[in-house]
Amino acid sequence: MKIPFSPPYVDQGVIDEVMDTLQSGWITSGPKVKALEDEVVKMTGTQTAVCVNSWTSGAILMLKWFGIKEGDEVIVPAYTYSATALSVLHCGATPVMVDIDDDFTISPEKVRDAITSHTKAIIAVDIAGWPCDYDALNLLINETAIKDKFISQSEKQAALGRILLISDAAHSIGATYKGKPAAQACDVTIFSFHAVKNVTTSEGGCVCLNLPAPFDSDEEFKYLKMFTLNGQTKDALTKSKAGAGSWKYDILFPGLKINMPDLCAALGLGQIKRYVSVLHPRRKEVAEQYCEAFNKYPWFISPPLLSASRESSYHLFPLRLAGVTEDQRDWIIDELMSKGIAINVHFIPMPMLTLFKNLGYDIKNFPNSYKQYACEISLPIYPQLNYVQVEYIIDAVIEAVSLQLKEPQNV
- Chain contacts with ligand PLP (rule: CB under 6 A): 54-56, 80-81, 83-84, 125, 168, 170-171, 192, 194, 205
Closer CB to ligand PLP, 33 or 170, in the complex: 170
Smallest distance from the beta carbon of 58 to ligand PLP, in angstroms? Answer: 8
Smallest distance from the beta carbon of 127 to ligand PLP, in angstroms? Answer: 7
Smallest distance from the beta carbon of 134 to ligand PLP, in angstroms? Answer: 16
Smallest distance from the beta carbon of 5 to ligand PLP, in angstroms? Answer: 12
Residue nearest to ligand PLP (CB): 55
Closer CB to ligand PLP, 192 or 289, in the complex: 192
Closer CB to ligand PLP, 181 or 205, in the complex: 205
Smallest distance from the beta carbon of 403 to ligand PLP, in angstroms? Answer: 31
Closer CB to ligand PLP, 138 or 344, in the complex: 344
Closer CB to ligand PLP, 191 or 299, in the complex: 191
Smallest distance from the beta carbon of 168 to ligand PLP, in angstroms? Answer: 5
Smallest distance from the beta carbon of 145 to ligand PLP, in angstroms? Answer: 30
Give the 3-state secondary structure of the chain. CCECCCCCCCCHHHHHHHHHHHHHCCCCCCHHHHHHHHHHHHHHCCCEEEEECCHHHHHHHHHHHCCCCCCCEEEEECCCCCHHHHHHHHCCCEEEEECECCCCCECHHHHHHHCCCCEEEEEEECHHHCCCCHHHHHHHHHCHHHHHHCCCCCHHHHHHCCCEEEEEECCCCCCEECCEEHHHHCCEEEEECCCCCCCCCCCCEEEEECCCCCCCHHHHHHHHHHHCECCECCCHHHHHCCCCCCCCCCECCCCCECECCHHHHHHHHHHHCCHHHHHHHHHHHHHHHHHHHHCCCCCEECCCCECCCEECCCCCEEEEECCCCHHHHHHHHHHHHHCCECCECCCCCHHHCHHHHHCCCCHHHCHHHHHHHHCEEEECCCCCCCHHHHHHHHHHHHHHHHHHHHCCCCC
Closer CB to ligand PLP, 55 or 134, in the complex: 55
Closer CB to ligand PLP, 335 or 376, in the complex: 376
